[in-house]
Amino acid sequence: MKIHKYDTVIVGAGGAGMRAAIESTKRSRTAVLTKLYPTRSHTGAAQGGMAAALANVEEDNWEWHTFDTIKGGDYLVDQDAAEILAKEAIDAVLDLEKMGLPFNRTPAGEIDQRRFGGHSRNHGEAPVRRACYAADRTGHMILQTLYQNCVKEGVEFFNEFYVLDQLLVEEDGVKKSAGVVAYELATGEIHVFQSKSVIYASGGTGKFFKVTSNAHTLTGDGQAACYRRGLPLEDMEFFQFHPTGIWRMGILLTEGARGEGGILRNKDGERFMEKYAPVMKDLASRDVVSRSIYTEIREGRGCGPEGDHVYLDLTHLPPEQLDAKLPDITEFARTYLGIEPYTDPIPIQPTAHYAMGGIPTNVQGEVLSDNTTVVPGLYAAGEVACVSVHGANRLGTNSLLDINVFGKRSGIAAAEYAHKTEYIELPENPAAMVEAQIERLRNSTGTERVATIRLELQECMDANVMVFRTEQTIKTAVEKIAELRERYLNVSIQDKGRRFNTDLLEAVELGNLLDLAEVMATSALARKESRGGHYREDYPNRDDVNFMRHTMAYREVADDGTESIRLDYKPVVQTRYQPMERKY
C-alpha cells in the first residue's frame, strides 16, 4: 500500500473533473485520479450542444433559460441552483471558447446556436436557438479542449486508478473527508490518497440498464463509494430515457437531429408528436417524447416486424445539412445499421441516458450528509452529483452546461477550502475495506458469474423501471435485485492476477450497479406520483401536495449486519416560479 498526500484530489477526468482541475491546480496541489485516460471519458460522446442564452442568433435571456430548466424538471428543480446555472452559462461557454473550443460559427463569426428540446422563448411561446454546438461533436470538443488546457496548466493525472472507497472521519461529532482509496489497474496495487478536499466527478450510472447510451464504464462508482459510507443519495428514481437511441443498441442519436428539423414517425408515416405536444411537437421534453413513442408502440403503431420501434426521419433534410451539422450520427446509422439517412428513416427506441439523481450537494458543490449538514472537505460535480438543477427531468444541453458551471465552482471551492484547513488524520488501516473486498473477489470459489448477474440486472431494469412503471413492476425489480445481490456474494472471477485485472474490476463495478439499482427501485416504489422521468401508470398525475420534495436514500446497517435503505425527504427550493401544469 502506498500513501500520497495532496491538497485536493479529484475523482474523474470527464468534463466536470477536468473543469474542476483547471481551477484547483492553479490554487492548490491537486491530483486527478481517473479510471480511464481523460480523453476516454464519456463526456466525449455528447453530441448536441451546450445551452447558454447568448442571444447570438435571436432574442434570448437567462431568465427564460431558468424558467425552461425548472419547467423541464417538472418543478423538482432547486430554483436558486437553476438560476445560477442559467446565469453562469454565458461565461461558461465564453470560457470554453477562450480556451480554444472550435464552436460552429454564425455568418458574423459568433458562436452559432440551434434549437433543442424544451428550450423556449418567453416561457414556452416557441422553440428558441440556445444550444451552442460544434457539429454533433460538442462533447468531444469540450473534452478535448479541457484536456488540452489541463496539459497547459500541468494538471497531474493518475490514469487508470479506480477509486473504490471514500474515507470519512468523525471529528467533534462532524463527518469529514480524509481522502480516498484507489486501486491501480496496471499493478493491482492499492493507494491511499490523503487530502484536505476531495471532489467526485465520476459520472453516471447508466450501465444498470441494457439499452443505454452510456459507456460500459459508467457504473456509478462515486455514488456507491459515498453511499456505502452512509452518505445519502438524492432523487435516484429519476432517470432520463432519451427518445432516440439506435434500435436495440441504444447508441444515441442527438436531439439536435430533431433541432435541425428531423421528425419522428410511426409505421403509418404519421408525425405522431403533433398529437402529444401541439406546440413543441418533436422538441417537447424528453420524458414526454419517450412516453409518446412507447404509447405508439403499445397501441400497435410501432415499426418493423415486431412493431417495437419508430422512425427518426431525416430524409427531407438536404444532404449538405446532414453532412455539416450531423456528420457523426449519420455515420453511426451507416456503420451500425447499414442505413443511408439521406434516403431512409432510422429505427429508434428510447435509451437509458442520464441520472438526474446522485450525491446531494449545495451550489458550491459541497456534499451534504443530510438535508442541511455539509461534509467538510467533500465535493461533487457533474452527473455523479445532484445539485439539483435537473429535478425530475434534465433538459438537453443542460448537462454539458452543468459540468462546466459546477465543475468550476467546486474546483475553486475545494482548493480554497484546502488552503484554510489542515489534513485530517487517516483512520487506522485506511485501505482495510478495499483490501478485503479485492481479496474476497480474487479468492472466491463461488459459482456465479459476473456477466450473468449483470445481464439479468439489466434485463430486469429495462423491463420494470424504465419509461413506464407500476407498483407491480417496481416490486418485481426490488425482489429481483435482492436475489441478485444475494447471488453476487457468490461470484468468482477467472483472472487471479495483479496486472490489468479488468475481470476483477468488472466484478467490483457490478457490486456498485447492484447497490444503486436497489436504491433507484426503492426510491421509485415510494414515489406514488408521476413527475418528469418517473412515470407511474398507477399514479399518472403529479402530486405536489405529497411529493413536491426530493428523495434522500440512506444505507442503514443493523447490529446484526443486515442492510436496508431508509428513505427521507428534503424540501425543494422555490424562489419565483410557482408550479404549473407542464404542457408543450
Ligand X SMILES: Cc1cc2nc3c(=O)[nH]c(=O)nc-3n(C[C@H](O)[C@H](O)[C@H](O)COP(=O)(O)OP(=O)(O)OC[C@H]3O[C@@H](n4cnc5c(N)ncnc54)[C@H](O)[C@@H]3O)c2cc1C
Q: Specify binding-site residues for substrate.
A: 242, 254, 353, 394
Quick check: 138 and 49 in contact, CB under 8 A?
Answer: yes
Cα 15 to chain centroid distance, Å, stands at 12
Q: Which stretch binds another protein (CB under 8 A): 31-39, 353-361, 472-480, 574-582?
A: 31-39
Burial of 366 (0-12, 13-18, 19+ CB in 10 A): buried
Under the criterion CB under 6 A, does residue 252 sit at the interface with ligand X? yes
Tell me, residue by residue from 167 to 196, as one string, x for binding to ligand X by CB under 6 A and - for no binding: ------------------------------
Q: Given phi > 0 = left and psi -120 to 50 = alpha, else beta, which region is 316? A: alpha
Q: Does position 31 bind another protein by CB under 8 A?
A: no
Region for 203 from its dihedrals, namely left if φ exceeds 0, alpha if ψ lies in -120 to 50, beta otherwise: left
Helix/strand number for the chain, H first, E second: 16, 20
Grid coordinates given for 480? 429481483
- Of 216, 271, 475, 583, which lies in the binding site for another protein, with binding defined by CB under 8 A? 216
The residues annotated with a catalytic role in the active site are 286
Pick out the residues of the known binding site.
Answer: 12-17, 34-49, 221, 242, 254, 353, 383, 394, 399-400
For residue 148, how many other CB atoms are within 10 A of its CB?
15
* Three-point CA angle 301, 272, 123, nearest 5°: 150
Q: Looking only at residues 450 through 469 of this chain, which bind another protein when binding is defined by CB under 8 A?
A: 450-451
Q: Mark the segment that binds ligand X (CB under 6 A) among 14-22, 67-75, 298-306, 357-365.
A: 14-22
**Residue 36 binding ligand X, by CB under 6 A:** yes
**Cell numbers at 76, concatenated:** 423538482
Q: H-type helices in 299-342, by residue range? A: 319-325, 327-332
Give CA angle at 177 (173, 178), nearest 5°.
110
2-11/190-200 β-pairing: parallel
Q: Judged by CB under 8 A, which of 12, 44, 360, 411 binds another protein?
A: 44
Q: Which does 456 bind (CB under 5 to 8 A by kind): ligand X, another protein, none?
A: none
Choice from 3, 37, 483, 563 touching another protein (CB under 8 A): 37
> Nearest distance from residue 395's CB to another protein, in Å?
22
Residue 114: phi and psi, rounded to 5, are -135, 175
Q: Which of residues 42-101 bind ligand X (CB under 6 A)?
A: 42-43, 45-50
144 binds ligand X (CB under 6 A): no
Interacting residues with ligand X (CB under 6 A): 11-17, 33-36, 41-43, 45-50, 138-139, 162-163, 201-204, 213-214, 218, 221, 252, 254, 354, 382-384, 396-401, 403
Interacting residues with another protein (CB under 8 A): 36-37, 39-42, 44-45, 93-94, 97-100, 102-111, 134, 137, 140-141, 144, 148-149, 151-152, 186, 215-217, 251, 303-305, 328, 331-332, 334-340, 343-345, 347, 449-451, 493-495, 497-503
